[in-house]
Amino acid sequence: MKRLFRYSGNKSKLLGLYRPIPKGVTRVVEPYLGSGAFLMNTHLPGVGYEINGHLCAMWEWLKQTSANELHHLDSVVREWKAKTEKPDVRDMNLELGPQTYVRVNCCSVVVGQLSSWKIYPQNNLPVEETVKCLPRLKDIQVFNARGETHTPQDGDLLFVDPPYVGTVGNYLEKGKQTKQIEKEYDPQDTIKFLDGVRCPVILTYGSNAKELFPQYEWEIVKVVKVPNMRKGGTVDRNEMVAYINF
C-alpha cells in the first residue's frame, strides 16, 4: 500500500478489507482528505477536500516537489536533531508546506496530529515512501474547502472518512501561534451531505458509528488497538464501514 505521509487515523492498513470500486466509476473523491490514503491507492483521477490550510499547503508542496528536495529536507531535519534535543520546527525557517510535512511525520506523541511543534528523536521523515507516491499526485486535485460543498457527478465514488467527534488535535494549533483551524466536527454535516447522493459511497468511522449514523448499515472491518490519550495504554476500537448505493 502506498502512503504519502504518516497521519493519525489514516486507513492505509484497511484498504484491502473494503469492497472493490464498482464498475463505471471514473473518479474518486475524498471529502475529508487528511492523508488521502484511499486516493493514493487507486489509479483513477481523484479530488480531495481539506479545510486545514496547513495540510493543503503540504499537499500542494508535495505535488510540485522532487525526490532531491525531499532528501535535502530529511538531511536538514537530521542535522537539527543531532544538535538540539527536540528542536522546534518553527526555528527551521521552512515554508508552510515542508514545515507541515515535518510536523505530521516527526512531531507530537500521536504522529499526525497538529498539536505539537517539537521534533521527537525517534521520528524520521518517510522520504522513500513519499518519493514512490509522487507520480500519483499529478492525477489528484486538492481544494482548501469543506468537502460537503462537493457536487457529486456521474462516475464519482465518494470515500468518506470523517474526523472523530471531540478530537480537536488535528484541527487546533497550539503553542506560540494559537489559531483555530476548524470547528469541532459535527456528524450532521456528513448526514446532510450524503442525503440524496446517488453515486456509490464508502463511509468509514469508529466504534460509535451506529450511534452517530444510525440510518446506515454498518459492518465491522477490523478491531484495532489505539492509544488511550486520557488514561494511557491502549483501548480496542472497531473500524466500521457502510456502503451506500453499491
Q: Max alpha carbon distance in the chain (Å)? A: 56
In a domain, 148, yes or no: no
Q: Examine the domain organization and report whether 135 and 92 are in the same domain.
A: yes
In a domain, 95, yes or no: yes
In a domain, 17, yes or no: no
Query: Which tens digits make up the pLDDT trace of 181-206?
Result: 445 788 999 999 999 899 999 999 99
Model pLDDT, residue 175: 47
Model pLDDT, residue 164: 79
pLDDT tens over the chain, length 246 residues: 888 988 876 788 888 999 999 999 999 999 999 889 999 999 999 999 998 889 999 999 999 999 999 999 999 999 999 999 899 999 999 999 999 999 999 986 554 457 789 998 899 999 999 999 999 999 999 999 999 999 999 999 999 999 877 655 444 444 445 454 445 788 999 999 999 899 999 999 998 999 999 999 999 999 877 666 566 677 778 899 999 999
Write the burial class of residue 10 (CB in 10 Å: 0-12 exposed, 13-18 middle, 19+ buried): buried
Q: Examine the domain organization and report whether 100 and 192 are in the same domain.
A: yes
Model pLDDT, residue 114: 73
Q: Examine the domain organization and report whether 77 and 171 are in the same domain.
A: yes
In a domain, 134, yes or no: yes
Q: Examine the domain organization and report whether 92 and 176 are in the same domain.
A: yes
Q: Examine the domain organization and report whether 66 and 115 are in the same domain.
A: yes
Model pLDDT, residue 172: 47
Q: Examine the domain organization and report whether 192 and 77 are in the same domain.
A: yes
In a domain, 45, yes or no: no
In angstroms, rounded to a whole number, what is the distance separating the alpha carbons of residues 58 and 88?
A: 18
Q: Examine the domain organization and report whether 55 and 108 are in the same domain.
A: yes
User: How many CA atoms within 13 Å lie on the side-chain side of 154?
Assistant: 1
Write the burial class of residue 40 (CB in 10 Å: 0-12 exposed, 13-18 middle, 19+ buried): buried
Model pLDDT, residue 166: 64
List the one residue out of 219, 158, 163 whose CA is nearest residue 193. 158
Query: Which tens digits make up the pLDDT trace of 34-64?
Result: 889 999 999 999 999 998 889 999 999 999 9
Model pLDDT, residue 111: 44
Residue 183 lies in domain:
51-139+162-199
Q: Examine the domain organization and report whether 132 and 210 are in the same domain.
A: no
Q: Examine the domain organization and report whether 187 and 228 are in the same domain.
A: no
Based on the structure, what is the number of domains in the chain?
2
